[in-house]
Amino acid sequence: MSDSRDLWMVGDLLDAMSGSNIPNYVTMVIQEVQAWLSSVVSEDYAVDPADITGGDRQLSADLEFLFSQLEWAGAYADVLPVLKGEPKHEDALILSIDPILLEEGLRMLVDHAALFARDVCRRVWLVSDTWVTGEVLPYLPHIRALRERGTVVHFMLVTPWDYSEIPWNNVIRK
């Protein structure tokens, strides 16, 4: 990254988006989320007509199954919303997938990093299948405050077909 924390060069953005700085366990979690999302959007997946006509984004997919498949990541990070016990890792992994809306994921991120794990948390990986600028903007001051305390927040946007880090952490201006 460039010498200034507030100035990113094109190469810095491309490096962040390439995923070269993502720990292996995060990549493995993302791959499992992608597989789950793929099963949700596959031709074999039957959508309940009530889910469509109601206008809600409440798919009938088994999110509990996904979370149970990701329990192994608890050896590397505090995994939310399924954290069991006290926060103990420098890394936190926030799953904001399908019914766990982006705003709820952002709230979990801030609560965990700033309140519940403030003495141990140094990196947060928010894994989400959604990016809504209007929901993210109100949390930018929180992300800035976490950065100033030394906690780095990574936003991983995941689709069934690919993923990318949205390089927002170091472009947040004071």
Give per-residue pLDDT as tens, 114-150: 999 999 999 999 999 999 888 889 999 999 999 999 9
Residues 6+ positions from 122 with CB-CB distance below 8 Å = 90, 91, 150, 151, 152
State residue 3's pLDDT score: 42
The residue extents of the domains of the chain are 10-171
pLDDT at residue 6 is higher than 70:
no
The backbone region for 150, taken as left when phi is positive above 0, alpha when psi lies in -120 to 50, beta otherwise, is left
Confidence at 168, pLDDT banded by 50, 70, 90: confident
pLDDT at residue 98 is higher than 90:
no
Is pTM beyond 0.75? Reply is yes
Residue 91 in contact with residue 105, Cβ under 8 Å?
Answer: no
**For the chain, first and last CA: distance in Å?**
18
The 10s digit of each residue's pLDDT in 41-70 is 775 555 555 554 444 444 545 788 888 899
Structure tokens, 55: 């206008």
State residue 56's pLDDT score: 46
Distance, CA of 102 to CA of 104 (rounded, Å) = 5
Residues 6+ positions from 104 with CB-CB distance below 8 Å = 96
The 10s digit of each residue's pLDDT in 16-36 is 666 567 999 999 999 999 999
Residue reference for tokens 């009938």: 60
